[in-house]
Amino acid sequence: MRDTAAREVRPKYLNLQALLFEIRLPLPGWVSILHRISGAFLFLAVVWLLFMLDRSLSSQAGFDAVKRYMDLWPVKLGLLAVVWAYCHHFCAGIRFLLLDIHKGVDLATARATSWLVLGASIALTAFFGWKLW
């Protein structure tokens, strides 16, 4: 009796290392996770964006200070991250709305729309990033 209990496969508890390196998540799963991450990032970035908007609308000196601040490359890189988060969240959100009405639920279409979401979000990010720089 004791030997059979020792041979039983114990449940594997998932941690970040297992999710990143051991489990092969399909592309629609990655799009879903990136949708959640981009939404959380946008929620946190609103504070930074509203601070810059408030400062730029307060006075001419505040506007000039924000203009100089936005010329720094780390700030532009942060704004590029916000642009990517918005573009990905928007494109993936449209995909999930279509999934909610049972359009594109089969495996081949789900994979194709996942590639479409990634391609569209990267293309939109490149376009708006080009305008930003």
pLDDT tens-digit series, residues 87-110:
999 999 999 999 999 998 999 999
The answer as to whether 70 is a domain residue is: yes
Domain count, the chain: 1
Work out the angle at residue 25's Cα, subtended by the Cα atoms of residues 82 and 37, and round it to the nearest 5 degrees.
Answer: 20
Q: What is d(CA 42, CA 108) in angstroms, rounded to the nearest whole number?
A: 30
The answer as to whether 20 is a domain residue is: no
The answer as to whether 104 is a domain residue is: yes
4 vs 52, which has greater pLDDT?
52
The answer as to whether 2 is a domain residue is: no
The answer as to whether 77 is a domain residue is: yes
Long-range Cβ contact pairs of 41-48 (< 8 A, separation 24 or more): 41/81, 41/82, 41/85, 42/82, 42/85, 42/86, 42/89, 45/81, 45/82, 45/85, 48/78
Q: Which domain covers residue 60, as residue numbers?
A: 26-132
Q: What is the pLDDT of residue 9?
A: 76
Q: What is d(CA 110, CA 33) in angstroms, rounded to the nearest whole number?
A: 15
Give the tens place of pLDDT for each residue, 48-66: 999 999 999 999 999 999 9
Q: What is the pLDDT of residue 24?
A: 79
How many other β-carbons are positioned within 10 Å of the β-carbon of residue 75?
Answer: 15
Q: Which of 83, 75, 97, 99 minimizes the C-alpha distance to 38?
A: 83
Q: What is d(CA 53, CA 74) in angstroms, rounded to the nearest whole number?
A: 18
pTM of structure = 0.80
Query: Which CATH number is 97's domain given?
Result: 1.20.1300.10
DSSP H/E element including 121: helix 107-132
The answer as to whether 47 is a domain residue is: yes
20 vs 58, which has greater pLDDT?
58
Average pLDDT over residues 101-130: 95
Average pLDDT taken over every residue of the chain: 90
The answer as to whether 86 is a domain residue is: yes
